[in-house]
Chain A
Amino acid sequence: GAGVSQTPSNKVTEKGKYVELRCDPISGHTALYWYRQSLGQGPEFLIYFQGTGAADDSGLPNDRFFAVRPEGSVSTLKIQRTERGDSAVYLCASSLLAGGPSNTGELFFGEGSRLTVL
């Protein structure tokens, strides 16, 4: 598709379960980002990839959260042993590249995956 695609759009799970959220970035975008948006808050940075490698994962809240991008395109955010506090909208964004004078600074966001942990 033309934009960033995220699946599922909604996910309801029980406390303690494992969850995967998928992001399909815009074709040709080398940089991919995950943000988390809690109710009434702005998005919070989690991790970003430049190609296949995680360039910065300093925003991941703890070791229950992990993300991969094995082929430099689609990315999966994985959450183990979910807790109620993990409930939020998880946003994915992509850009042509990260950093440098030719970077326009524009992130293209998907519509998000709303995670509810009961």
Chain B
Amino acid sequence: AQSVTQLGSHVSVSEGALVLLRCNYSSSVPPYLFWYVQYPNQGLQLLLKYTSAATLVKGINGFEAEFKKSETSFHLTKPSAHMSDAAEYFCAVTHGSSNTGKLIFGQGTTLQVKP
């Protein structure tokens, strides 16, 4: 069965610092992996996705993530944090072998950006 673990429910960084949000997955089949972001009072929106093409995936707002099969990880990074990046971030994996939109989400990581 597929599962997702996000290490750290809260991450705090200074503006301009590196952002690293950790996600490890478990899947019995080659996974599709996603990062979604939820800004305050808004719906979740897709940041980026891995669907078995390039292992380094670039997303919106300067975020990227690298799929590492040997480590079963899909960590999200951004070189320089902006105040506007403060939000909740969710890692998700597809349930099963086809990309039906049935996702298993991690518990989420709240990113705080300090001035």
How far, in Å, is B28 (CB) from chain A's closest CB? 17
Most buried by A among B102, B104, B106: B102
Chain A interface size band reads: 20 to 34
Cα distance, A99 to B32, chains bound together (Å): 11
Residues A56 and B43 in contact in the complex (CB < 8 Å), given A41-B107, A42-B107: no
Which residues of B does A touch, CB under 8 Å?
A: 4, 9, 32, 34, 36, 41-46, 49, 51, 90, 92, 94-95, 98-108
Check: A55 CB closer than 8 A to any chain B CB: yes
Residues of A within 8 A of B99 (CB): 98-100, 103, 105
Check: A33 CB closer than 8 A to any chain B CB: yes
Report yes or no: A109 in contact with B45, Cβ–Cβ below 8 A.
yes
Report yes or no: B34 in contact with A42, Cβ–Cβ below 8 A.
no
Residues of B within 8 A of A3 (CB): 43
Considering only CB atoms, which chain B residue lies closest to A47 in the complex? B102
Residues of A within 8 A of B44 (CB): 43, 91, 93, 107, 109
